[in-house]
A and B are shown apart, each in its own frame.
Chain A
Amino acid sequence: AQSVAQPEDQVNVAEGNPLTVKCTYSVSGNPYLFWYVQYPNRGLQFLLKYITGDNLVKGSYGFEAEFNKSQTSFHLKKPSALVSDSALYFCAVRGSTSGNTPLVFGKGTRLSVIA
């Protein structure tokens, strides 16, 4: 079985400061990891993914994530937060590269960037 843990319900950060949203996962076999962002009353927007290769993955809007196999983590990061980054962030895992299998989501972390 696959699972994702996002230990923080809420993360507050000042504008211009670096941000980190934490994610750990559990999966048998190779993990395929994703981050999505959700704005109010909207669907999910894809930010980035880790399939294979470099552990540091760069995605949309200046976000990046680091895959750490030994710690089974895939934390989302951004060097300088913007107020517009305030949203709900979901980490997800899939035990297969096939798009025919569903993603398993964490509970989400609400990011609030304060001006």
Chain B
Amino acid sequence: GAVVSQHPSRVICKSGTSVKIECRSLDFQATTMFWYRQFPKQSLMLMATSNEGSKATYEQGVEKDKFLINHASLTLSTLTVTSAHPEDSSFYICSAGGPAVTEAFFGQGTRLTVV
């Protein structure tokens, strides 16, 4: 299957700072990237869908000014958590897709801890 690389795998930041998470599609052109958030012992919650070269579409209840998503190329999407607070601590996972790709391919996830 396709390879999706997510970086960093783990980050600790201070409250009020911003953190950027990168998601790279290494061996196919991902026209669409999905960002999920996973709470402990819970399922994946879709945060937003981003299409290359256009603005992301956010799910209801997700603050677009807090979770900035950029998808400037077919191989890279970034999620920036701005002015992070402890309640933003979570596991964030990206997924890459495209019109010719049936299943979604996931990054390794990023464990964000805000202290």
**When the two chains form their complex, are residues B100 and A41 in contact, meaning their CB atoms are under 8 A apart?**
no
User: Is there a chain B Cβ closer than 8 Å to A83's Cβ?
Assistant: no
Alpha-carbon distance A44/B111, docked complex (angstroms): 14
- Nearest B-chain residue to A98, judged by Cβ: B99
Alpha-carbon distance A41/B111, docked complex (angstroms): 7
**When the two chains form their complex, are residues B1 and A46 in contact, meaning their CB atoms are under 8 A apart?**
yes
- Closest beta carbon of chain B to A69's beta carbon, Å: 19
**When the two chains form their complex, are residues A102 and B1 in contact, meaning their CB atoms are under 8 A apart?**
no
Chain B at the A interface: mostly helix, strand, loop or mixed? Answer: strand
- Closest beta carbon of chain B to A111's beta carbon, Å: 14
User: Is there a chain B Cβ closer than 8 Å to A100's Cβ?
Assistant: yes
Interface residues on A, range: 20 to 34
| Neighbour of A43 across the interface among B97, B100, B101, B109, CB < 8 A | B109
- Nearest A-chain residue to B42, judged by Cβ: A107
Residues of A within 8 A of B91 (CB): 41
Chain B, range 26-47, C-beta contacts under 8 Å to A = 31-32, 34, 42-44, 46
**When the two chains form their complex, are residues B103 and A46 in contact, meaning their CB atoms are under 8 A apart?**
yes
